[in-house]
């Protein structure tokens, strides 16, 4: 894998860690809503930590791909929980601007933007190498 600028690597690590930390903080409260939601929040936090480690190692793209999965699913889950609701939970249209949710959405969107940039850079370097 081509070497990425350190700022990009650290921005990816920071944004995915913020996503995971927010979910770790909210997990106990989410368990009281319905158990699977809390378990998914813990899984998000663990996935974010593993992704951050993979990005830090910078040996291949698996950390970036895992981070995109974690951030993307969390982003979609947030929107679904506010609009159509989740299984066994009604929609929460009044919860769009909860501070932790907004922090998480910004971090997830930020990670996905950095991930997109990393993918484009990878494709450009492949194009350059292959001619």
Which pLDDT score is estimated for 2? Answer: 65
| DSSP at 95 | G
Which pLDDT score is estimated for 58? Answer: 84
CB 56 within 8 Å of CB 9: yes
- Tokens at 47, concatenated: 């996935």
pTM, to two decimals: 0.90
Q: How confident is the model at residue 59 (pLDDT cuts 50, 70, 90)?
A: confident
- Tokens at 17, concatenated: 């860690």
Which pLDDT score is estimated for 131? Answer: 43
pLDDT higher than threshold 50 for residue 128: no
């Amino acid at each position: 894998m081509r070497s990425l600028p350190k700022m990009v690597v650290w921005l990816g690590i920071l944004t995915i860690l913020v996503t995971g930390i927010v979910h770790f903080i909210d997990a106990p409260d989410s368990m009281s809503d319905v158990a699977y939601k809390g378990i998914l929040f813990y899984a998000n936090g663990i996935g974010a930590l593993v992704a951050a480690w993979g990005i830090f190692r910078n040996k291949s793209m698996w950390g970036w791909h895992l981070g995109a999965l974690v951030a993307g699913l969390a982003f979609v889950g947030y929107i679904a929980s506010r609009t159509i609701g989740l299984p066994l939970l009604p929609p929460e249209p009044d919860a769009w601007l909860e501070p932790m949710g907004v922090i998480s959405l910004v971090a997830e969107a930020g990670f996905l933007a950095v991930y997109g940039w990393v993918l484009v850079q990878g494709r450009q370097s492949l194009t350059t190498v292959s001619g």
